[in-house]
Every structure is written in C-alpha cells, then in structure tokens.
Amino acid sequence: MIYRTLGDSDLKLSAITFGAWAVGGWMWGGTDHQQSVEAIQAAYDHGVTSIDTAPVYGQGLSEKIVGDAINDIPRDKLQILTKFGLRWDTDKGHFRFPSKDNDGNDLAIHEYAAKESVIKECEESLQRLGTDYIDLYQIHWPDPTTPISETMEALIQLKEQGKIREAAVCNYDAGQLKEANETINIVSNQVPYSMLRRDIEEEVVPYCLENNKGILAYSPLQRGLLTGKMTPGQDYEEGDARADSPYYSDENIKRTNAFLNAIQPIADNHDATLAQLTIQWTIQQPGITIALVGARNKEQATQNAKAADITLSNDELSKINDELDALELDLD
C-alpha cells in the first residue's frame, strides 16, 4: 500500500481509502451488515488504513458498520474520515432532494451546517463510530443558508476540544475552498473524479496544487461503470440511483465498454483488472492524494487494495489519456 500525507497536516492516509457509502445501503439498493464488516476488515488486512463514511449513508448505518468493523483494531492504526451537513432529520437549511431510506420511507435531504448543527452531528458520529475523535471532519456539501465562516468556526471549536484532528470540505469549488481556508486551515477537498468525470482539473486541482491542499477523489470507478462488468440493459435494485443517471444509459455503457476494451491490454500487462487499472490511474493523476473506493464484500475490498501493487508508466498513462480524449458520452 502507498501512504500519503494530506496537505500540510501530519495526517497520513492510505492512497486507496475504503469508501463506505455503499455499505450504508442508501441509494445502493440496501446492504448486508456482516458482509460490509468483513469488507472493511479485509481492506485493512491489505493495508487500507483509511475509511471514509458519512452520517447520511444509511442514516447512521454506515457509521455504525464502520464502528463494528474497527472495534478490534488499534485506533491509532486507523484514520477515520466522516462528514456533516447533509441532514435528513430536520427541515432547516437548504432542501437538496427527496429520497427514501433503506426501508422505503420518504426522506427530505437538507444541506445544513449552522454551528450548533455541526457540534450536534459530531457528537452523534462519535457515538456511532465508537471513537472519541475523528481524524478528518468534512462538510459534505456547501450550505447556501449558512455563512462559510460560521461553519468553520464550529470546526475550530471541535479541534480545540480534541474531537477532530483536521478540518476539510467536500464538493467545494476553488472559491469556496479559499473562503473556508480564511477561517481555519482546510487540509483537503473531497470531490468526484474519474476517467469519465474530470472537470476538477480546470480550477480545483490547480488551486489545491498551488496551496498544498489534498484532493480526495470519490467515485473513481464511476459507481461500477469503469469495472467493465456493466452491460446495456443493466438491472438495478430498487432505490439504486444509477438507474436515473445518464452515465448508465445503454448507449453510454456501450461507449465506455469500447474504451475499456481499448485499454484492456494495459491491464493485462500488469496482470490487473480494469478496476485496478482505473484506481491506479486515478492516484497517479496530478493533485490527487487518495482514491475512495467502495466495496460490498471482502473479495471486492481485497481486489481494490491490490490496485496499489501496480504502477503505470508515462507511456501507458498517455495511451489511456489518448483513448479518453476520443471517448464521448451523451450526458444531456
């Protein structure tokens, strides 16, 4: 495994970090608690020391599963990353979208990061995770109803109390990141990034490189699309949000699979899967500190971790990027 220091902090993360969105079941068509615990433990056994979760992932379930999975692991051997500011249990803040929980009950998701809410959420996360501190505490999405400075002041308080080690943001543009950093040192920005989604290269990556901020890339496999295992006519479990995303239209699956066929020889040269090739490509991109990769069982978690065993040459990276430049998806 590769370990990288996050920004100008002393926090060192595994370059492949376990993304625990899927194990919460929410928007993934449910979950299996024991398989999820085993997945996290298998990842740790193969060098993945960092775990990223959030309260909203299963409305507390993901954090509880993470807590169960790490119960017997020395706390100082792990880095726990969680979030705040995406609430399902209040109508305060900015309404983001309607949803359903794992039991099919209606939810209304709000972006809310007022100071008192951040403090409350941190306490609840600590209880679910079964720990007394969080290594990286991240606002999940910008809250347009709360001044950024107010949210960041809550993080100052939590850091002074020893409840969090470092403050971070998710889904912030370069301007928002700069503003947040005026109140507290922000060590990273967690943003979507994959071979198929590279818009952060325009402003976010240059800002983070120039200012020594880490980038945590989530959905590097584009929720399974870049594994080569999806086919047109794909079936999705009820509640799986991919069914309504343009990335997973039959035509885009065909085009993506054609691209993957073109780069398959590179994966074969490394005796790697397409998923492993994609993960390694991600963590070799400029400015990317780590890739967050989810797994539903221990086999997937083990294969993800082994992506760290390969290194792509400059020629291989150029070949992949040339094929990407020729790939056009219909996202309208």
Q: How far is the C-alpha of 266 from the C-alpha of 262, rounded, in Å?
A: 9
Whole-number pLDDT of residue 257: 94
Q: What is the pLDDT of residues 3-31, one digit of tens each?
A: 999 999 999 999 999 999 989 988 877 88
| pLDDT at position 79 | 98
Strands, E assignment, 34-146: 50-52, 79-84, 86-87, 94-100, 106-111, 134-139
CA-based Rg of the chain, rounded to a whole angstrom? 19
Kindly state whether residue 44 falls inside one of the protein's structural domains.
yes
The 10s digit of each residue's pLDDT in 61-84 is 999 999 999 999 999 999 999 999
256 has a pLDDT exceeding 80 = yes
pLDDT (0 to 100) of residue 233? 85
Give the per-residue pLDDT at 192. 96
pLDDT score, position 237: 76
Maximum alpha-carbon separation in the chain: 53
pLDDT tens digits, residue range 173-216?
A: 999 999 999 999 999 999 999 999 999 999 999 999 999 999 99
The pLDDT assigned to 235 comes to 82
Average pLDDT over residues 250-268: 94
Both tokens assigned to 249: 């239209």
Quote the domain boundaries for residue 133.
3-222+273-311
Residue 116 in any domain: the answer is yes
Residue 139 lies in a domain: yes
- Residue 248 has what pLDDT? 87
> pLDDT at residue 297 above 90?
yes
Number of domains observed in the structure of the chain: 1
Instruction: Confirm if 253 and 234 have CB atoms less than 8 A apart.
Output: yes
In this structure, is residue 35 part of a structural domain? yes
Any domain includes 252? no
Of residues 146, 168, 152, 75, the one with CA closest to residue 119:
152
3-state secondary structure of 108: strand
Domain membership of residue 317 (yes or no) is no
Beta strands in the chain (DSSP E): 3-5, 12-14, 16-19, 50-52, 79-84, 86-87, 94-100, 106-111, 134-139, 164-170, 186-192, 214-218, 290-293
**Is it the case that residue 125 has pLDDT exceeding 90?**
yes
What mean pLDDT value characterizes the chain? Answer: 94
CATH of the domain at 64: 3.20.20.100
pLDDT of 229 strictly over 80 = yes
Which residues are known catalytic residues? 57
pLDDT at 28: 79
pTM of this prediction? 0.93
What's the rounded mean pLDDT across residues 138-148?
A: 97
235-245 pLDDT per residue, tens: 887 777 788 88
Number of other residues whose CB lies within 10 A of the CB of residue 331: 11
Q: Give the pair of three-digit tokens for residue 278.
A: 């994609």
pLDDT value at residue 31: 83
Whether residue 320 is contained in a domain is answered as no
124 pLDDT above the threshold of 90:
yes
Residue 156, in any domain of the structure: yes
